[in-house]
A and B are shown apart, each in its own frame.
Chain A
Amino acid sequence: MSDANNDIVLEIKDVHKSFDKLEVLKGISMDVKRGEVVAVIGPSGGGKSTLLRCATTLEKVDNGKIVIGGDVLCDGGKYCDKATEKEIRSKFGLVFQNFNLFPHFSVRRNVTEALIHVHKKSKDEANIICDELLLKMDLVEKADAYPCNLSGGQQQRVSIARALATNPEIIFFDEPTSALDPELTKGVLTVIKELAREKMTMVIVTHEMAFARDVADRIVFMDGGVIVEEGPAYELVTNPQQERTKAFLAGY
């Protein structure tokens, strides 16, 4: 494998996806380099979330190619075998809009369960990783708490810790602050900013324009199932070229 290829963590090429007769993704292509933070913005129903769900194996594309961490998830709409799929799932993390923490597990178990039972780490190793992450997320004292006793912001930080635990090459965020009120949003955004500083590769679907502008290296604007415009974050927000992008950003 060449160095150039090695540097690209996520490769999406001409991806098409329809739900029944409704074409939601009409040929999307994008690459994400190692250490890069890409924000995906655009109106609801524009295909952002579907793209993320396709990249994270939760939806199957009809056609196109997706490569994550050098492993081909699908090519020409044809999917890899189960073993490769499992391998790919260990290479990315996903943070959901509504957290999807496991309510019957403590914070610690939410973070360590996959480490122990999927990645076959020992309990001690998993706990060390967990403690480190909880420290980073400012949740040390919540290790034994249950999700129902945490605020939304704390829950989202636990879910970020859970996604980070397996040391993925890339993390996807699906509107990570949309379910939070503004006060709680801050803590989550601070954590993501911190990850960006550490050169974590991230793809963030978000409606937080100021955040996208300040944190992302690149912004992709999607509407109607296509990428309308993309470019360096600051430029795209302050000086959009396309009419649709201008109209969308004017609403913020």
Chain B
Amino acid sequence: MDGTNDVLRLLLSTLTQLVQGFGYTLAIFGLTLIFSIPLGLLICKGRMSKIPVISLACRLYISVLRGTPLMLQLLLVYFGPYYVFRVSLGNDYRFIATIIAFSLNYAAYFAEIFRGGIQSMSKGQYEAATVLGFSKSQTYFKIILPQVVKRVLPSVSNEIITLVKDTSLAQVLSVAEMFTKASAAASKQVSVMPFIVAGLFYYAMNLLIEFILNRVEKSMSYYS
């Protein structure tokens, strides 16, 4: 029965390692959402700005960040400061660089999703709010944004689910997130088992997210 015991022990140690890594995965996921959504909104506003310099700069930003690999952006953010400015930012910077790169990248996608949502709003909503005396910010936060949230939710859900899987890219910076741990365990054990377990973790997390997002979508279905 030694064989079974060995398998169990391996599985348990794999699980322990993956769970340790999962904390980082969650942190990358959560922090990226927290930073990229407001930043995306800001870039979206800039993209729609009437000032050509701002609008052009935001277009360029979106184009470059969407047009180059996220993995390359991770490496640039991490190694950039050293190669360009000769500053060494220590070991913690691995994680910080990951969050910066992810946030900058996802903000570009969110900006375009938000722009689509805002531009799909009819002019009449703004006009009705204007003649009723609402200020610009009241109009934006009370009238426009709540409706935009409903409209962009399906696309935002897509991005959120993609982000869960993309966190694995942090492996290039040797951040100890789940995929890095899974790779290490896999090569040590000479087995694909850690990858399969990691896959189950990602999928379980996305199942939960899907469930939550469906609930949110339902909660906004009282109007059309």
A: which residues have CB within 8 A of B? Answer: 56-58, 86, 89-90, 92-94, 96, 98, 100-104, 113-114, 117-119, 146-148, 162, 166
Contacts and interface: CB of A to CB of B under 8 A. Distances in A.
A118 B135 CA distance: 8
A104 B146 contact: yes
B131 A117 contact: no
Contacts of A57: 130-131
Nearest to A88: B133
B65 interface: no
A117 B222 contact: no
Interface stretch (B91-99, B121-129, B156-164, B206-214): B121-129
How many chain B residues sit at the interface, stated as a range, is: 20 to 34
A68 to B, nearest CB: 12
A86 B142 contact: no
Interface in B42-99: none
Nearest to B146: A104
A57 B130 CA distance: 9
Contact of B223 (A58, A96, A119, A146): A146
Nearest to B224: A148
Given A89-B132, A114-B134, 18 more contacts: A56-B131, A58-B127, A92-B131, A94-B128, A96-B124, A100-B125, A100-B127, A102-B128, A102-B129, A103-B223, A103-B224, A104-B223, A113-B142, A114-B132, A114-B133, A117-B138, A119-B133, A146-B222
Contacts, number: 58
Contacts of B138: 117-118
Contacts of B146: 104
Contact of A117 (B124, B142, B224): B142
A57 B224 CA distance: 29
Contacts of B129: 102
B150 interface: yes
B153 interface: no
Contacts of A89: 130-133
Given A86-B133, A89-B133, A94-B131, A100 B124 contact: yes
B147 interface: yes
A103 B147 contact: yes
A102 B143 contact: yes
Contacts of B142: 113, 117
B222 to A, nearest CB: 6
Contacts of A162: 132
A30 B32 CA distance: 59
